[in-house]
Every structure is written in C-alpha cells, then in structure tokens.
C-alpha cells in the first residue's frame, strides 16, 4: 500500500503494513522545533498525553464528539459524490472506456480516492466516511494512544494511522483528495499554521471539512469556577468569525453552521468523570493544577447548581430541557466545509 508519508517518516515506522490494511506509524519529535513558545510546547505535550491516557475510555464517554462527527459527515455528504452516483456512461460517452468504470478510477475522478482524518482519535468516523465512497483513509493524531487504538479497531478497513502534529504534517504536498477533522482544531495553539498545513497536503479543489468548539462551550462550568477561585479552569475557544477569518487565509468557505448542544448530568462527579474520560485538557496559562480538595469541589458543586438554576428558563437548541436536579453542560459546535483554491 502506498502512502503520502515522506521518506524520512517511513524510516521511523513503528508498525509495518498489514496486508494493505490498517497500520499505525509513530513519528519522532521533529515538530517540536517549530513550536512558537515554551507554553505551546508544554500544552501540546499535555494534550497528547491526556488523550493517549483516555484512548480506552474515550468511545464510551464521547457522546458530543460522536454527535458532532456524524453531523459533520452529514454536512460533507452534500459536497461529495460517490462513484456509483456519478452520471451514467450513456450521458458521458467518454466514460464508457472500461478503465474509467473501475471503482478506483471513479473514486479518483470524484475526489474520493484518499482522505486524511486529522485528529482521528479512535477512528469513530472512518467507517461512515468509507460508506460515503471514500476508498482509503489515513488517520493522524497527536496522541499515540489514539493512533494505536484506531489501528486495533479498524484493522479490517483500508485505514492507515500515524502519530503526527497537525501543525507540521509528515506528508508530501497535494497528496490527499480531502481532509476530515472532528473537534481537533480547537486544541491547536497555532491555528493558521494548522490551516496552512492542511492546505499544503490537500490537492487543489479538495475539501477540508472540520468541526471545532465555539466560545460558549462549557460556559456553565466556567461561570461556576469563577465563583470559587480566580484561576483559569476552562479553555477559551475562538468565535465563529475568528475561525472563518483564519480559514479564509487558505480556503474558500463552502458552508459554516453553528449549534449549541446541551448535555445533562445527574451530579458534578459524573460531569467531571466524563470530561476526564474524553481527555478534556485545560491548556490555558494561569490554570490551577488539579481540582483541589473536597471543600473546593463542594463549593464548585454549589456554584454550578446556582448557575444552572439561574438559567433554567433558557431553552437549548438541542435536546429536552434538563430537570432542575440535573446539571447542564453546553457545547458550542461549529462545522465548516472549506475548499482549497485551484491556484
């Protein structure tokens, strides 16, 4: 099986190809030289470590991530055309040639031959993407534990995984027909560099479909912590306009949608456990290490319930209103379909 990996990357392969099926490659840390600041370096290591530790528990807890992944595929589906849905040979006489009717040839013509799943995690979206007609997928994730997990899960699919930095991708230029990326962009400390790298590895005219988190994500938890201490406990995320502005430096925007989705938890303990299980990491400067002792958690619980009760009348755009005894947690989801310019 051919890959888009550079020769240097291939020499660092940790697991060999298995009959052209799922493989995983581990990359050494060349990308660290390109990090702008020591904070970015530490934050990146922290994110990779946390997500690696959560790789075994992730699928059971990642409800919002899975909802977002399927919604992104749904939005993407209107922009891609599987080979079997293309015009018939009678409408295009040139396509009557046997070679052009081969599934692989059709996939290449339709831009579905080879895609990158950037921030692939456990590979949840891969089977659904293949159902859309994509012939082969390479996954890339900063967390090696996620790459290994996706390799184990998707061993029977045309899937190859690498452990790689989205801001310094180990692939040759213009080697992918498109990129799919679900809830990874928000973890980048250098978003424009990420978009630049995505543009570099996509073929001209290829699609970049991604989901990210907006500024109202976990606003209840942020408000509750502000009543407990002055430290930063919840990440800050870019607005839709900022995301679009950064993306438009390299892509044309085809579609952008935003929606708030609210989860409900029976108590603070279950809420925090789920965040830990999905690898949610606080990478902001000024953060406090750890959650603190029982007294601080009791104060947080009281503050959180006050926040939820004060906003009980607010209606969510997704799902039923939470019972007053439950705690709500908002995710501000942004889905973008962008296209690399032809020139």
Is residue 322 in a domain? Answer: no
Is residue 90 in a domain? Answer: no
What gap in Å lies between CA 122 and CA 149, rounded to an integer?
6
Tell me, what DSSP letter sits at residue 239?
-
Is residue 77 in a domain? Answer: yes
Is residue 201 in a domain? Answer: yes
Number of domains observed in the structure of the chain: 1
Q: What is the pLDDT of residues 193-249, one digit of tens each?
A: 999 999 999 999 999 999 999 999 999 999 999 999 998 889 999 999 999 999 999
Segments forming the whole domain that contains residue 161 = 7-84+100-212+238-260+334-340
Is residue 227 in a domain? Answer: no
Query: Going by C-beta distance under 8 Å and a sequence separation of 6 or more, which residues neighbour residue 211?
Result: 68, 69, 71, 72, 181, 182, 183, 185, 333, 334, 335, 336
Is residue 304 in a domain? Answer: no
Q: Is the pLDDT of residue 300 over 90?
A: yes
Q: What is the pLDDT of residues 47-91, one digit of tens each?
A: 888 899 889 889 999 999 999 999 999 999 999 976 555 443 334
List the CATH number of the domain containing 157: 3.40.50.150
Q: What is the pLDDT of residues 112-136, one digit of tens each?
A: 999 999 999 999 999 999 999 999 9
- Partners of 136 in the beta sheet? 114
Is residue 313 in a domain? Answer: no
Is residue 274 in a domain? Answer: no
């Amino acid at each position: 099986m051919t890959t888009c990996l550079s020769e240097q990357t291939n020499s660092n392969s940790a697991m060999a190809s298995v009959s052209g099926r799922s493989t995983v490659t581990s990359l050494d840390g060349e990308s660290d030289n390109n990090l702008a600041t020591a904070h970015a370096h530490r934050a990146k290591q922290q994110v990779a470590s946390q997500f690696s530790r959560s790789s075994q528990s992730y699928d059971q807890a990642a409800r919002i991530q899975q909802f977002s992944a399927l919604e992104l595929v749904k939005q993407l589906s209107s922009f891609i055309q599987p080979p079997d849905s293309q015009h018939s040979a009678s409408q295009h006489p040139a396509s009557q040639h046997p070679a052009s009717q081969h599934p692989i040839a059709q996939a290449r013509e339709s831009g579905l031959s080879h895609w990158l799943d950037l921030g692939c995690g456990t590979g949840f979206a891969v089977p659904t993407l293949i159902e859309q007609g994509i012939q082969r997928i390479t996954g890339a994730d900063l967390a090696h534990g996620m790459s290994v997990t996706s390799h184990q899960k998707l061993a029977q699919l045309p899937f190859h995984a690498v452990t790689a930095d989205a801001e310094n991708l180990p692939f040759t230029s213009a080697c992918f027909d498109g990129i799919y990326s679900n809830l990874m962009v928000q973890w980048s400390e250098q978003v424009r560099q990420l978009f630049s790298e995505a543009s570099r590895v996509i073929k001209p005219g290829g699609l970049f479909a991604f989901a990210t988190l907006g500024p109202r994500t976990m606003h209840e938890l942020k408000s509750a912590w502000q009543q407990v201490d002055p430290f930063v406990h919840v990440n800050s995320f870019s607005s839709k306009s900022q995301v679009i502005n950064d993306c438009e430096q390299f892509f044309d925007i085809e579609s952008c949608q935003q929606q708030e989705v609210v989860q409900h938890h029976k108590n603070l303990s279950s809420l925090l456990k789920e965040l830990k299980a999905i690898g949610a990491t606080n990478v902001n400067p000024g953060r406090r290490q750890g959650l603190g002792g029982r007294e601080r958690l009791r104060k947080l619980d009281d503050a959180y319930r006050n926040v939820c009760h004060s906003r009980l009348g607010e209606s969510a755009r997704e799902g039923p209103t939470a019972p007053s005894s439950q705690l709500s947690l908002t995710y501000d989801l942004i889905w973008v379909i962008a296209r690399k310019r032809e020139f």
